[in-house]
Amino acid sequence: MNRMQVVYRVAGSAGEIEARARAIAVEQSIEMPPHAVRNHRVSAEVLGRVEQIVADGPDHFLVTISLALETTGFEAGQMMNMLFGNSSLHPDLTLLDVDLEVQAASRFGGPRFGLDGLRRLVGAGKRPLTCTALKPQGSTVEELAELAGQFAEAGIDIIKDDHGLADQHSTPFAQRVAAVQEAVDAANRASGHRTLYAPSLTGGPARQRKQLTVARELGVGALLIAPMISGCGALQELADEGVPILAHPALAGAARISPTLLLGKLFRLFGADAVIYPNHGGRFSFAPALCRDIARTARTAWAGLASSVPVPAGGMHPDRVEELVEFYGRDVMLLIGGALLEAEDTRAAASAFVQRVALCEHRG
């Protein structure tokens, strides 16, 4: 089909909602008065259409609008633009859900590795995956490489840059990535593990292109990007690079796009193999039900796409491993950062983390 179904939750009264829904359909397509459109094809095919209006509580409605896929060009940034670009400037609606057919989803790309591919890459069988972050920013290259070596020796599956590591003076991208990858490679040779390092890509097009060239040359095994910082288009292009992509939720807390949609569906649609999000009970306030929803949405069969691995994060602790695997099941990657750094012996803490997760192979 040529259209996608988009659901908005709109505040309003029964007397106003039809007009409001039509206005949203216009705003998210032709963005001009429909009667002034002279091209008949545009009126017939491009203009958004109100498909359904359903009450949702006393003051809200769920409005389903179909938008022509051609307006997205199947480009991720343009998809975000057509879903919510101008409407983000209106205070009365939230972007709740999107549905599209398999053929359309495949044109966006989706995860090239997904949960299964990531497991194969690191040799994880059916167990949950483990992840940690190199912190804090401002550290020296040597400090971060040393830390990476310890984490890799402990057997953590994916070591990512803290998303605050970019191209700053203290650890410029090229030097940092070279040193960290070398430390990870050395640890892998010694241990037989297949730990992946995911450096954080940042900057505009020219800077990211340089970083990508460096990363390729150094044989980096994964990449981290924050799509709401760098643009969803950057995530989509990275998915063609041949390595798994982790999506970070920085700046993704826009109060009016459903986190379940953004993290569990859209980042996945655009090519994220793993989606990081704030877990309940840590530093952030996402409720357990929301966390469960995000994880479930990222993994559930949708539009023919591979599953993305959900990566709960933020104030997590090794003592919570069993509780979290109980909550999420085994199809999850646990990201523990600060708690490992707080330990007297970081390497021992990392090993203990890895071992507790390995024991979960038969749980969940």
**Residues 101 to 130 in contact with a copy of itself, rule: CB under 8 A:** none
Provide the β-strand partners of residue 160: 133, 198
Nearest residue (CB) to a copy of itself, 174 versus 358: 174
Q: Which of 230, 279, 307, 308 binds a copy of itself (CB under 8 A)?
A: 230
- Does 90 engage in binding with a copy of itself (CB under 8 A)? yes
Instruction: Tell me how far, at minimum, the Cβ of 230 lies from a copy of itself, in Å.
Output: 5
Omega prior to 33 cis, within 30 of 0:
no
The DSSP call for residue 47 is S
Q: Which of 86, 103, 106, 213 binds a copy of itself (CB under 8 A)?
A: 86
> Position of tokens 């972050």?
133
- Does 213 engage in binding with a copy of itself (CB under 8 A)? no
Task: Please check whether residue 130 is in contact with residue 256, taking contact to mean a CB–CB distance below 8 angstroms.
Answer: no
How far is the C-alpha of 55 from the C-alpha of 9, rounded, in Å? Answer: 10
Cα–Cα distances in angstroms (integers) from residue 143 to residues 146, 171, 354, in the given order: 5, 10, 22
Instruction: Tell me how far, at minimum, the Cβ of 120 lies from a copy of itself, in Å.
Output: 27
> Position of tokens 């963005």?
31
Strand order in the sheet with 223-225: 223-225, 245-247, 274-278, 309-313
For the residues of 270-337, what is the DSSP string, one character each? HT-SEEEEEPTTSSS---HHHHHHHHHHHHS-BTTBPPPEEEEESS--GGGHHHHHHHH-SS-EEE--
Q: What tokens does 12 get?
A: 């309003």
Q: Which of 4, 63, 65, 76 binds a copy of itself (CB under 8 A)?
A: 76
Q: Which of 33, 57, 58, 192 binds a copy of itself (CB under 8 A)?
A: 33
Nearest residue (CB) to a copy of itself, 90 versus 112: 90
Site for a copy of itself in 48-67 (CB under 8 A): none
Kindly indicate which of the ranges 105-113, 117-125, 229-237, 290-298 contains the residues binding a copy of itself, using the contact rule CB under 8 A: 229-237
Binding mask 324-363 for a copy of itself (x = CB under 8 A): -------------xx--xx---------------------
Residue 74 — left, alpha, or beta (φ > 0 → left; ψ -120 to 50 → alpha)?
left
Write the single-letter amino acid at 146.
E
- Does 304 engage in binding with a copy of itself (CB under 8 A)? no
Kindly indicate which of the ranges 11-19, 279-287, 303-311, 348-356 contains the residues binding a copy of itself, using the contact rule CB under 8 A: 279-287
- Does 214 engage in binding with a copy of itself (CB under 8 A)? no
Q: Which of 1, 73, 120, 219 binds a copy of itself (CB under 8 A)?
A: 73
Nearest residue (CB) to a copy of itself, 13 versus 140: 140
Q: What tokens does 334 get?
A: 């646990």
Q: Which of 123, 125, 204, 288 binds a copy of itself (CB under 8 A)?
A: 204
- Does 206 engage in binding with a copy of itself (CB under 8 A)? yes
Residues in the chain: 364
Kindly indicate which of the ranges 1-9, 38-46, 326-334, 350-358 contains the residues binding a copy of itself, using the contact rule CB under 8 A: 38-46
Closest CA to 62 of 15, 4, 7: 7
Closest CA to 260 of 213, 209, 300: 300
Residues binding a copy of itself: what is the number (CB under 8 A)? 91
Kindly indicate which of the ranges 6-14, 104-112, 184-192, 253-261 contains the residues binding a copy of itself, using the contact rule CB under 8 A: 253-261
Q: Which of 29, 66, 130, 181 binds a copy of itself (CB under 8 A)?
A: 29
Task: Please check whether residue 311 is in contact with residue 331, taking contact to mean a CB–CB distance below 8 angstroms.
Answer: no
Residue 84 — left, alpha, or beta (φ > 0 → left; ψ -120 to 50 → alpha)?
alpha
